[in-house]
Structure 1
């Protein structure tokens, strides 16, 4: 007879057949809770009609702690006209959710706390703040889904990596001519004026195909925070659409604009996402970054971010979005009264298929 456990199914019980050389103790406290009976039996004895193996042994009868048919009943409730994609994914979702609840012995109070967290996220969200998306960000879900999607759609190994959209994107940013500034109404009375001057930057680059061909007329949509760490919709002192703009590439696929070097900032921690971070003993900071959405006809739209290599939070991004290929180095810019720094960064778009 082999050493260790040999599982037998005995009328709704999991019977573990253990020979004398195996450990007689349950493997965990949880296993101990599930043990309903144990008995030493001799060769060829039976329990409810199931015959044991030869030799002295110990039968551990384990009764299911929870209804073993419940999850299958929930999955089987799906109707014949359900959406095909839901038919594909919901069984997996339900099984994972139910297994999680059983694994951690989730209580009603804990479940209701999670429900209220989601409800509070809906209450605090509006067209300028998406708190539920922020919750997804801090548990890494948006970054994971972004990676899955981008790799599934990639048609070349040369494409610029994607990064999450984040909750502060706004549609209809102003379309500006190449070489103009996305910094609006910067005057000495602005509280972060001096830092803006120190971090003024000229950003340029090209939008290319995977074969290195320039893409004319591509739209480069860009946005980032002010030096105080706030996007304009978070800060009533900033002009509407400050530090946002859209630029069309020229015949050589080139875009160019003036902006600021990005700064690290805390994601909003005055709502459910912030409460969760505090309970997890985590900081809310993101490394300095600039958001881009780059789109062109016959090419896949790229949503990404670039990260300043000077930032101390590169390895500690609260939303786990940093990728090595997206870390950039700003260089000093000479002879330009409008910028102290410069950055050149090319975007490579995949083809639509």
Structure 2
């Protein structure tokens, strides 16, 4: 695979920064964008040198295959700034690895690690002033790739564009989340693309999620595509269930994304001596545990919120509430992980990477 150095990345700086127009005390998630973005084209069977340019619109032909056959993938990451103004990433090589897994599944070219890491670090250094420093805030990072090659024939494109955009974001707080266990729609299927971070996976979630919201819920709990008997994901997050003192999450598969926060939760749990089980979780088991009081916690795990506690769930016209518990696993995991991310604690796992 190709390699690249920082010196090979060309930089075109903005003439005038828009940072003074941003209210960093009231940042919504993923809706404000920094001054610059990284762009790198794949043409004639090879990746060209990356460029950093002012953030702005891009031009594509109407026949670009992204519009017709949906070849697109992305990652979600964050950069954190500690009280000494140092910048840190959290498990970035895991993001790169998963990016290429997604690329392979979508018949897209893999991206060399140096392009991903050096491009990202150079962009973050350039827009360092945009990284918020207040509690719970971070720089959300969106690496993505899509088919820019043209043609109406149903086949992989011959050209692609890799980009990274940065969005300074405030604390992601969803409040008490109430979810609906889905019994009709499926997020993914065996042999499908559920394990890839491709745009269509998320587009397909919007309709059933809106239906759930119309019934008073915030999100959907996805179940298996065959009989809707097994709990698989919570909205766009991996799901964890605590029954008694045991933490349970489903195994990764063709249908379930191999979440980086998910892996981190499992490793923190092991270090804390918490019993974990990676196995199939049935809806019947969860409903029975809710009825007999052994269901202590349910929460989603993902980049945006890190941990998103679930306050209750609906199933077949019945709502089940979860009472707040002392010594919450969700609270423990969120503190352990965010303390590492923000350089407030030692990192015994080797997850934190300084830029």
Q: TM-score range by the shorter chain?
A: under 0.3
The structure with higher relative contact order (CA 8 Å, sep 6+) is: 2
User: What TM-score does the superposition give when structure 1 sets the normalisation length?
Assistant: 0.26
Considering only CA atoms, is the larger Rg found in Structure 1 or Structure 2? 1
User: What TM-score does the superposition give when structure 2 sets the normalisation length?
Assistant: 0.26
